[in-house]
Structure 1
Amino acid sequence: MADGLRLSSARGRGAVFASVVASGMAFLDSTVVNVALPHIGKDLGANVAGLQWTISAYTLALAALVLLGGALGDRYGRRKVFLIGVVWFTAASVLCGFSVNVGMLTAARALQGCGAALLTPGSLALLQASFVDKDRAKAIGAWSGLSGVATAIGPFLGGWLIDTLSWRWIFFINVPLAVLAVVAAVAWVPESRNPSTGRFDLPGAVLAAAGLAGITYALIQRGAGAIPATAVGVVALVVFVLAERRRGDAAMLPPRLFRSRQFSAINLVTFFIYAGLSGITFFLVVELQVASGFSALKAGVALLPMTLLLLVGSSRAGALGARIGPHWPLTGGSVIAGVGILLMLRIGQHTSYWLDVLPAAILFGLGMTLVVAPLTAAILAAAPSEQAGTASGVNNAVARSGGLLSVAALPLAVGISGQQYQQPGVLSHGFHLAVLGCAGLYALGALTSLVLVKREPSARAHPVPPSAAPGVPPAPPVRSERGGGTDA
Structure 2
Amino acid sequence: MNRWRGNPWAVLLTLSLGFFMTLLDLTAVNVAIPSMLDDMHTSLDEVLWVINIYILVLAALLITFGRLGDMRGPRTMFIVGVAVFTVASVLCALSRNPAQLIAARAVQGLGAAALMPQTMTIIIATFPAERRGTALGIWGAVAGVATIAGPTLGGFLVSTAGWRWIFFINIPIGVIVLALAVALVPDLRHGARRKLDIVGVLLAAATLVCLTFALTEGQRYDWTAGIWGLLGGGVLLLVIFLVQQGIRQRGEPLLPFGLFRDRNYAVMSFVSATVQVGMMGLFLPVMIYLQSVLRFSAIKAGLVMAPAMVLSAVVSPVAGRMADRIGGKYILMAGLALFATGLAWLALVADVGRTWYEFQPALIVAGFGIGCVFGPMVTVAMYNVEPGMAGAASGALNTIRQIGTVIGSAAVGALLQNRLAGALRDEAAKQAAGLPASVRDQFVAGFDNAAKGGLEVGAGQTGAAFQAPAGTPASVVHDLRQAAASVFEHGVVHAMRPTLALPIAVIAAGAVSCFLVLTGARREVRVARSAYRGRRRRSSMSTDSGATFNHRAGMAAFGEKETRDSGTSAGGRP
Q: TM-score, normalised by structure 1?
A: 0.83
Q: Deviations over 1:56-101 (max 9, x none)?
A: 1011111111122122233224333222212211222122112222
Find the partner of 2:214 among 211, 218, 223.
218
Tell me: CA distance 1:133–1:255, structure 2 relative to 1, closer, same or farther (3 Å): closer
Which residue number in structure 2 is paired with residue 203 of structure 1? Answer: 199
Tell me: CA distance 1:138–1:360, structure 2 relative to 1, closer, same or farther (3 Å): closer
Task: Write the mapping of 1:171-182 to structure 2, written as runs, cut at 5 A.
Answer: 171-182=167-178
Which residue number in structure 2 is paired with residue 314 of structure 1? Answer: 316
Q: Which 5+ residue runs of structure 1 have no aligned equivalent?
A: 462-478
Matched, 1:427 2:427: no
Matched, 1:57 2:65: no
AA at the equivalent of 2:30: N
Q: Which moved more, 1:253-262 or 1:101-110?
A: 253-262
SS in 2 for 1:301: helix
Which residue number in structure 2 is paired with residue 474 of structure 1? Answer: none
Deviation at 1:214, TM superposition (A): 0.5
Q: Which moved more, 1:193-202 or 1:43-52?
A: 193-202
Task: Give distance in 1, aligned partners of 2:143 and 2:373.
Answer: 19
Which residue number in structure 1 is paired with residue 502 of structure 2? Answer: 437
Q: Contact 1:32–1:170 at 8 Å: present in 2 too?
A: yes
Deviation at 1:349, TM superposition (A): 2.5
Deviation at 1:126, TM superposition (A): 4.8
Which residue number in structure 1 is paired with residue 298 of structure 2? Answer: 296
Q: Contact 2:142–2:313 at 8 Å: present in 1 too?
A: no
Tell me: CA distance 1:53–1:386, structure 2 relative to 1, closer, same or farther (3 Å): same
Q: Contact 1:59–1:404 at 8 Å: present in 2 too?
A: yes
Task: Give distance in 2, aligned partners of 1:189 and 1:260.
Answer: 30
Task: Give distance in 1, aligned partners of 2:128 and 2:397.
Answer: 27
Task: Give distance in 1, aligned partners of 2:264 and 2:149.
Answer: 36
Task: Give distance in 1, aligned partners of 2:341 and 2:130.
Answer: 41
AA at the equivalent of 1:230: L
Q: Contact 1:17–1:181 at 8 Å: present in 2 too?
A: no
Tell me: CA distance 1:292–1:123, structure 2 relative to 1, closer, same or farther (3 Å): same
Matched, 1:332 2:337: no
Q: Contact 1:210–1:236 at 8 Å: present in 2 too?
A: yes
Task: Give distance in 1, aligned partners of 2:171 and 2:71.
Answer: 28
Task: Give distance in 1, aligned partners of 2:326 and 2:492.
Answer: 43
Tell me: CA distance 1:185–1:45, structure 2 relative to 1, closer, same or farther (3 Å): same
Q: Contact 2:308–2:360 at 8 Å: present in 1 too?
A: no
Which residue number in structure 2 is paired with residue 232 of structure 1? Answer: 233
Report sequence identity in percent: 33
Q: Contact 1:35–1:159 at 8 Å: present in 2 too?
A: yes
Task: Give distance in 1, aligned partners of 2:133 and 2:324.
Answer: 16
Which residue number in structure 1 is paired with residue 397 of structure 2? Answer: 395
Matched, 1:447 2:512: yes
Q: Deviations over 1:179-216 (max 9, x none)?
A: 22223333444444344231122322221111111111
Tell me: CA distance 1:274–1:480, structure 2 relative to 1, closer, same or farther (3 Å): farther
Tell me: CA distance 1:99–1:480, structure 2 relative to 1, closer, same or farther (3 Å): farther
Which residue number in structure 2 is paired with residue 248 of structure 1? Answer: 249
Q: Contact 1:128–1:480 at 8 Å: present in 2 too?
A: no
Q: Which 5+ residue runs of structure 2 have no aligned equivalent?
A: 421-450, 459-487, 527-540, 548-574
Find the partner of 2:66 among 67, 70, 75.
70
Q: Contact 2:158–2:166 at 8 Å: present in 1 too?
A: yes
Q: Contact 1:420–1:426 at 8 Å: present in 2 too?
A: no
Which residue number in structure 2 is paired with residue 284 of structure 1? Answer: 286
Task: Give distance in 2, aligned partners of 1:186 and 1:257.
Answer: 31
Q: Deviations over 1:100-134 (max 9, x none)?
A: 22222222111110111112223454565578999
AA at the equivalent of 1:367: G
Deviation at 1:454, TM superposition (A): 4.0
Q: Contact 1:130–1:189 at 8 Å: present in 2 too?
A: no
Q: Contact 1:48–1:419 at 8 Å: present in 2 too?
A: yes
AA at the equivalent of 2:68: L
Task: Give distance in 2, aligned partners of 1:480 and 1:365.
Answer: 40
Q: Which one has the largest radius of gyration? A: 2
Deviation at 1:446, TM superposition (A): 2.4
Task: Give distance in 2, aligned partners of 1:127 and 1:453.
Answer: 23
Tell me: CA distance 1:69–1:36, structure 2 relative to 1, closer, same or farther (3 Å): same
Q: Contact 2:332–2:514 at 8 Å: present in 1 too?
A: yes
Q: Which moved more, 1:419-428 or 1:35-44?
A: 419-428
AA at the equivalent of 1:350: G
Find the partner of 1:349 among 324, 349, 352.
352
